[in-house]
Amino acid sequence: MKPLIALTSEAGTLSAKRGAFCQSAYSEAIARAGGLPVILPLTREPETLRQFLHRCDGLLLTGGADVSHKFYSPRMSARQRALIRDVDEVRDEMEIFLTRAALRRKIPVLGICRGIQVMNVALGGTLLPDVPRHSHPQPDVLLHKLRWASASKIRAAIGESPVNSSHHQALDQVAPKLRVIAWAEDGIIEAVEHTTAQFCWGVQFHPERLLKVAPQIRRLFTAFCTASSRRAVLRSRRQSHAV
């Protein structure tokens, strides 16, 4: 059974109209790994979000613009606030809600770039508002190696491939329920795993952009879709018993 994977959408404007979209690399990576990707609309309506989670088997928190300081450091200085750009608080609220609700429902969660940052904020962590030299203009270039913790599910899945870098925020204080399992050479946190959830992984790099240059990276999406498939089977059984 193919799992239904909910992808969060990015906020943007076109002809002065606000909208939502998702770069095709995310949905293509999920489809190639055996999942059925569905892009969620932007909304902060809790009941609507609950209905989406009721029907999905996995949650992918995609990349995008900065997370507002209001959700992790409301007393941040004006100088630091000036470094944060292109925030969309509807998206922030939506993804924080989805992350917490998905974990309560034991739905697998994968966070990519902004996604690992949202995951950390949702669970009580904070962010560095600006990280110099980590936003490279070429998204599919293998720029740096990672320093791994000795025991890591993500490392076991994808090996020790170099990764790309396309972000200017990063994790600062790590949420209590997250364990850091990889760092960049300059100490920036690059990957985390939840300490108790069956599947809740976050990576700071963009694996969906590396599938051609580093094919082993696709095993990250395979592991995510496999965990989501188990959730799909359980959901199907519950629905059958309810009929």
Average pLDDT, the chain: 92
Tens of pLDDT along 173-215? Answer: 999 999 999 999 999 999 999 999 999 999 999 999 999 999 9
**DSSP character for 166?**
B
Cβ of 224: how many Cβ atoms within 10 Å? 26
Give the dihedral sign, CA 212/216/217/223.
positive
- Region 91-95: what's the mean pLDDT? 97
- Region 153-164: what's the mean pLDDT? 93
Tens of pLDDT along 123-142? Answer: 999 999 999 888 777 878 89
In this structure, the chain runs to a length of 243
For residue 2, the model assigns a pLDDT of: 93
Q: Just list the catalytic residues.
A: 113, 206, 208
- DSSP H helices, 201-217, are none
Pick the CATH number of 4-242 from 3.40.50.880, 3.20.20.80, 3.40.50.620, 3.40.630.10: 3.40.50.880
For residue 50, the model assigns a pLDDT of: 96
Confidence band of 65 (pLDDT split at 50, 70, 90): very high
Instruction: Give the residue from 115, 109, 84, 165 showing the smallest Cα distance to 10.
Output: 115
